[in-house]
Amino acid sequence: MRCLLRHSRKEILLIGLSGGLFLAGLLFRGELRDTPYFSGEILVLGGAYLLAGWNVLLAAARGVFRGSVFDENFLMTVATLGAFAIHEYPEAVGVMLFFKVGEYFQGLSVSRSRRSIQSLLELQTDIAHLSVDGELQDVPPSEVGVGAHIVVRPGERVPLDGEVVSGESRVDTSALTGEPVPRMARPGDEIFAGLINKTETLTVRVTKLLSESSVAKILHLVENAAGNKSKTENFITRFSRVYTPIVVAAALLVAVIPPLVIEGAAFSDWVYRALVVLVISCPCALVVSIPLGYFGGVGGASRRGILVKGSNFLDVLASVKTVVFDKTGTLTRGVFKVSEVVPCNGLSGEDLLRLAAVAESHSNHPIAQSIREAWPQSVNSGAVESYEEIAGEGIRARVEGREILAGSDRLMHEENIAHDVCRVENAGTMVHLAADHTYAGYIVIADELKDDVPAALRRLKALGVERLVMLTGDNAFSAENVARKAGVDDFRAELLPGEKVEALEGIMKETDGMVAYVGDGINDAPVIMRADVGMAMGELGSDAAIDTADVVLMTDAPSKVAEAIEVGRRTRKIVWQNIAFALGVKGVFILGGAAGIASMWGAVFADVGVGLLAVFNAARVLK
């Protein structure tokens, strides 16, 4: 910040000194011209010119030596030195001075936009209250190790990821999620760096080092988002490389050809017109405002709890025609509860649930956890003699000397276990059990649709998204029930992770436009990576979500999908507004300059004015 202030003061000082000399040159132009060889005029106005334009001249010289000749600095240098050559000193100084003023205000706007995003992401605090033998020591968060206890007082920002050990308090998650409603943090709850403790003192056991914390990953993500340029930005870079030489050649023709073919045409008059064309043609409005527009889009999205990994993904979001959703944890809450236990072949419901709980005791899957929680007694995991997970289908375990299979309908078919006699279609996930290759029954696991799903999907349709699809590994009956309630156009059920990728690729071939996939960022990593734009939603601070997805939604609300698409479309709209406006105004003034209607003063006002208006328009995307 201090460096920025010093730079700003230096720029203002140079503009002030240049402006003072320029004003003196205009007021005393007659007297200065009466000096030998116009030395007084050259000294005063030349000094003003160098003060205002030394950095432009230096940049143009560097460009020539590096082989990158045709840029805005080169155009400004040629135009103003040409004005000096035809003794239009005030015009040359005026062009450079107003260009300097315009660049200053453009830089100020860009700096404010950057500071706006940086203040949004200033989630890290400099101090952590480390508890050592009952006493608190203020240390940098980078020095706190995993397992240490820290104290977070009301009003303070949480410095590190951890687990609440004692205390209950409301925490403000808006800096990370964009959601204004605080949530409760209780003992046993995870808490993340960057959140603000609102009401009571909390003691937190640190679970991650500062460099591995969710906030550090988010900061790194946003800071590096500018590295992934959109196609529009790349187009403008290529366009400028072609556009500038054409403009220089056109200006040269304007300066040379008319005096040769038009009788009585003054060479100096047409050189002046050519210089006007050069000044107007500077592409700085495009060069500055377009990257700023995309930068603002990334920053505006992050304010809403939507982290976009690069401006290129904003362009993809703007072109999305199909959105494909995972079911569990994305459209549904992912909070499973056993709703029904149906035994078969003489086994009691109690024995069925106990066998399932013991067999699933080594699994981390949410469904396995819900079965263990449904068993009212403690689970004896020592009774499990062997355990094997069958990817996407279930588990095989040896419990009390019996081989237990627990999993999907597909698993039963693959093991040739007859089970259709006892089976009844149910609106829930069904976990089938077999003991020693004899069907034992099934357990129904219920999951609920998230509250905002129907409204979120209607909003996507209103935005012009043509197709909504759901992919799930669940059974067809349960998937159909969720699909009907949610309002998706199509669904595919009983899919393994690899089959989800194949299903997505089929959808992408059928779709005329971009395809977005929305999942939880953990189990759906291959599908998220395959989509045109992968969006991870759900668990705050999920490492897998941040690492895998192109867009990270920091809440589990499906409405954020529509919001992300809206941000992408708004960003692209503003960027193309700037392109059309800048090229349109410049085209009119170039014709006016060639015709002798526009003066050098008009040219500089057109160039600087267009640049400033484009920058201010681009800054709107932040809001």
Is the distance from CB of 443 to CB of 352 less than 8 angstroms? Answer: yes
CA 399 from chain center: how many Å?
A: 49
Nearest to 203 by CA among 167, 172, 237: 167
How far apart, in whole angstroms, are the C-alpha atoms of residue 235 and residue 286? 11
Residue 246: partners with Cβ closer than 8 Å, 6 or more residues away: none
Residue 326 designated active-site: yes
- DSSP H/E element including 571: helix 559-594
How far apart, in whole angstroms, are the C-alpha atoms of residue 118 and residue 115? 5
Q: Starting at the earlier edge strand, list the strands of the sheet with 128-132.
A: 135-139, 128-132, 149-152, 202-206, 162-166, 190-191
Nearest to 49 by CA among 114, 106, 96: 96
CA end-to-end span of the chain, whole Å?
A: 23
Q: Is 6 exposed, middle or buried (0-12, 13-18, 19+ CB in 10 A)?
A: exposed
**71, 161, 315, 326: the active-site residue:** 326
User: DSSP of 603-618, one letter per residue?
Assistant: HHHHHHHHHHHHHHHH
Nearest to 48 by CA among 20, 72, 69: 20
Q: Is 358 exposed, middle or buried (0-12, 13-18, 19+ CB in 10 A)?
A: buried
How far apart, in whole angstroms, are the C-alpha atoms of residue 512 and residue 535? 20
How far apart, in whole angstroms, are the C-alpha atoms of residue 551 and residue 309? 6
How far apart, in whole angstroms, are the C-alpha atoms of residue 132 and residue 372? 38
CA 304 from chain center: how many Å?
A: 10
**Active-site residue list:** 326
